[in-house]
Amino acid sequence: MITRQRLAVGLCALLAALTAGFAFPAGAVADETTADAPKVDLVLDVSGSMRARDIDGGSRMAAAKQAFNEVLDATPEEVRLGIRTLGANYPGDDRKTGCKDTAQLYPVSTLDRTEAKTAVATLSPTGWTPIGPALLKAADDLDGGTGSHRIVLITDGEDTCAPLDPCEVAREIAAKGVGLTIDTLGLVPNSKLSKQLSCIAEATGGTYTSVEHKEDLTDKVNQLVDRAADKVVTPVAVDGAADCAKAPTLKSGLFTDRAEFAQHRWYRVDVKPGQELRASVSLSADRQVNPDYGVLLRAVTVHNREIVRGEAAGTGRTDVVSTGLRYPKAESDDEDATAETVCLQVSHSFSPAAGVKTTPGLPLELTVDVVDGPDQAGDVASFGLGRGWWLLGALVLTGFLAGLLWGWLSRWRFAVWRTN
């Protein structure tokens, strides 16, 4: 009887498993996860100039390899990462052939760290610098999926394959509307290189950074790979005004705008009694700027009285500066109390480097959150102060009485001991 029962239970379990298999085909969840996975293609310049030994006493190629190995170790599991090279295979002088020298060293896929490191270890500085062709191929490497797509270009020189202008290539990629961002890192502080890499990054809303040390290169590439893994939230474009009176009224959400150099941007938020306003702003340097800069976020009344402010500063080691503020609007006993209009002012002290275009303005991202404040804030404060003092008094009195009792008992025990 027991054997039959076990057999019946086993058959039911098998039937349930088969039913689940038909209802949820194998790989359905994995496919969905893969479709949403962020993708990053690291595009590395392996041209002959990467032999130069001017980065912390070693070659540019050695610095790039070390950075790649550390980045591969730190890449989040959910990121699909690939590596593409330019100038790695053709050592000759034929320009036409050299300008086709771009190859996929490691496909954009789930990362096998050992395999990817082994591939990087084989690289040796060789040929030309076909940046434009490499970007076109990299965009194809990232094709498909709904997650974020990011190209990180690391190079020490300008493109050598004109008339295919890499700036125009970046604009062409942006015009396709595929949501692909190109970030650029220059290994040499060269004005012509900086101008070209700034133009490439600006075309897709990416960032340009000049890197002169191994540690900085590793940190920056890690930062960009981690940024690709951030959850994608579609922001709403908004046009801030030059003063509060003409500013758009925002509700809770994520917004984007452009802030010109030496310009203030204003926005309005309505905050009801008992609510709290939480706001933050991030400003990105999407082109070469002078070091030492900051961003300021102020909350003021419609009469220009400052309520609260948040501010932050940078020194050229990061391309994004962020700050935030909180403003709790007190409860009102007036049932007819109306919402207060709070004006948010964003200003920054970025300044463009020589020869860099000043328009359009720098990318600005503003987060606004209006939430209910703490319940019964007055009661909480009252409890913290009033009952806190009562508790302290009770503890003092208890300690005093306990001391008296302990002293009396000690004296009584001593008296009894002497009597015996």
184 closest CA partner among 131, 147, 133, 137: 131
The Cβ of residue 185 has, within 10 Å, a number of other Cβ atoms equal to 24
The confidence score (pLDDT) of residue 289 equals 86
Per-residue pLDDT band at 415 (split at 50, 70, 90): low
The confidence score (pLDDT) of residue 149 equals 92
Reported as a single tens digit per residue, the pLDDT across 294-325 is 999 999 999 999 999 999 887 765 677 888 99
CATH for 236-372, options being 3.60.90.10, 3.10.20.30, 2.60.120.380, 1.10.3720.10: 2.60.120.380
CATH entry 3.30.465.10 includes domain 34-229 = no
364 closest CA partner among 383, 336, 391, 345: 345
Give ∠ CA 290-158-216 in degrees, rounded to 5: 50
Q: How many CA atoms lie within 13 A of 194 on its CB side?
A: 19
The confidence score (pLDDT) of residue 413 equals 65
Question: At residue 35, what are phi and psi to the nearest 5 degrees?
Answer: -65, -35
Q: Lowest mean pLDDT: which of 32-46, 82-96, 147-161, 378-392?
A: 378-392
d(CA 156, CA 47): 9
Longest dimension (CA), the chain: 116
The confidence score (pLDDT) of residue 337 equals 77
Domain boundaries, the chain: 34-229, 236-372
Answer yes or no: is pLDDT of 120 > 90: yes
d(CA 123, CA 353): 34
Give ∠ CA 222-225-229 in degrees, rounded to 5: 130
Cross-strand partners of 278:
326, 369
d(CA 127, CA 381): 71
Per-residue pLDDT band at 358 (split at 50, 70, 90): confident
Distances (CA, A) of 383 to 153, 221, 273, 380, 397: 58, 50, 22, 5, 20
Eight-state DSSP code of residue 331: P
What percentage of the chain reaches a pLDDT higher than 90? 51
Per-residue pLDDT band at 233 (split at 50, 70, 90): low
The Cβ of residue 183 has, within 10 Å, a number of other Cβ atoms equal to 28
40 closest CA partner among 75, 4, 92: 75
Instruction: Output 33 or 218, whichever has higher pLDDT.
Output: 218
**C-alpha dihedral, 25 to 27 to 30 to 35, nearest 10°:** -90
d(CA 385, CA 247): 41
Q: At what angle do helices 191-203 and 166-175 cross, to 10 degrees?
A: 10
Question: What percent of the chain is helix, strand and coil (3-state, nearest 5)?
Answer: 40, 30, 35
Q: Lowest mean pLDDT: which of 32-41, 178-187, 384-393?
A: 384-393
